[in-house]
Amino acid sequence: MKRCLVTGGAGFIGSHLTERLLELGHAVVVLDNLSTGGRQNLARVEGHPNFQFQQGSITDPVLLSELVPGIDVIYHMAAAVGVKLVADNPVRTIETNIYPTEVLLRLAVQGRQKFFLASTSEVYGKNPKERWTEEDDLQFGPTTRPRWAYGCSKAIDEFLGLAYHRKFNLGVVVGRFFNVVGPRQVGNYGMVIPRFVDQALDGGPVVVYDDGEQVRCFAHVREVVDSIIRLMELPAAEGQVFNIGSDEPVSIKQLADEVIRRVDPKVTKKFVPYNVAYSADFEDVRRRVPDVSRLEKTIGSKPTTPLGAILDDIIAWKRAARSK
Ligand code: UDP
């Protein structure tokens, strides 16, 4: 049994990770300020003898220094996430994403904790390659466009994590998530699937930005969480960066059609330009497809749940949540 600290454990991915760690027999302390996450995400584990919830902010260094001693593994999942939130709150993004990571890494050097650093495919920026491998260049837009603050801030986190690995031999593993989706994800911060499902359940239209030809790969959170835990069990993963996600591309227009077909074929699509959906200076990433061969070679598997099965899961969850 390992004692785990999950920062951001009340969030979408963090809560699934917490559940799985408890199922595997580990003990979990969740630290979350309930800003974008919520206590309801942890409903299934409330009262579990090995579960503890600490409400507080990762920007509070005293709280971090109280929580970290006695922990074996840190899963640093807390961050300002979502392109919309980040575009609306650039100061909060930068301050939440960088300084707390540094404080946690310093504490981990003292306590010798293993450290999972949650990063994002946003770090590749708008690299035009068909498939991104972990050694590819990061290509951000100008600093006058706040969107890039997200990827840039997580790239600094990665530099920090890898530097602590090199200098102090800390067991740091970096995971770059690619469009992780599933039950409990909410659409408030711009995420496309919960938005499309809600819009379709409300009778439409489903609002597709631009021409809908932009491409993403969607991975089920359950498989992402299993990949993270497996990576943390393998000493060979330390000091490395891993793309974590599905490698099956789908256009946003196709995604809208799949949602509509499942919820109600009478629902229509509406196309809205980026400058109306976001702000005038918004830049989207047109194509985002990972090469996940490093992950597959290391843990022996990769996320493969087909989009249809993922959507079925999300639609069933949304319907159940609405009927409560
Ligand atoms: N998108 C959309 N309608 C929405 C929300 C998003 O068409 O209501 C598009 C968005 O422009 C992007 C894609 O869906 O091209 C994925 O958006 P999301 O914010 O989920 O993820 P990210 O942009 O971080 O990949």
pLDDT tens by residue, 123-169? 999 999 999 999 999 999 998 888 888 899 999 999 999 999 999 99
pLDDT at 81 over 80: no
Q: Which of 75, 124, 150, 209 is catalytic?
A: 150
Query: Cα–Cα distance between 113 and 196 in angstroms, integer?
Result: 40
pLDDT at 189 over 90: no
Rounding to the nearest 10 degrees, give the CA dihedral for residues 321, 200, 12, 298.
130
Global pTM reads 0.96
Residue at token pair 């959507």 = 311
3-class secondary-structure state, position 24: coil
Ligand 1: residues with CB < 6 A are: 83, 179, 190-192, 195, 207-209, 214, 216, 252, 284, 288
150 catalytic, yes or no? yes
Nearest 5°: the CA angle 12, 238, 95 is 50
pLDDT per position as a tens digit, 193-246 = 999 999 999 999 999 999 999 999 999 999 999 999 999 999 999 999 999 999
pLDDT category, 13, cuts 50, 70, 90? very high
DSSP for residue 179: S
What pLDDT does residue 213 have?
97
Pocket test for ligand 1, best of 93, 154, 197, 209 (most atoms within 8 A of CB): 209
Q: Domains in the chain and their CATH numbers?
A: 3-181+219-246+291-305 (3.40.50.720)
pLDDT category, 279, cuts 50, 70, 90? confident
Buried b (16+ CB within 10 A) or exposed e, 267-276: bebeeeeeee
What pLDDT does residue 93 have?
83
With CA atoms as reference, report the closest residue to 318 among 229, 191, 214: 191
Segments of the chain assigned E as strands: 3-7, 27-32, 51-55, 73-76, 114-120, 172-177, 180-181, 206-209, 215-216, 219-220, 241-244, 250-251, 269-272
Rounding to the nearest 10 degrees, give the CA dihedral for residues 227, 233, 239, 241.
0
pLDDT at 296 over 80: yes
With CA atoms as reference, report the closest residue to 77 among 37, 110, 122: 37
What pLDDT does residue 201 have?
97
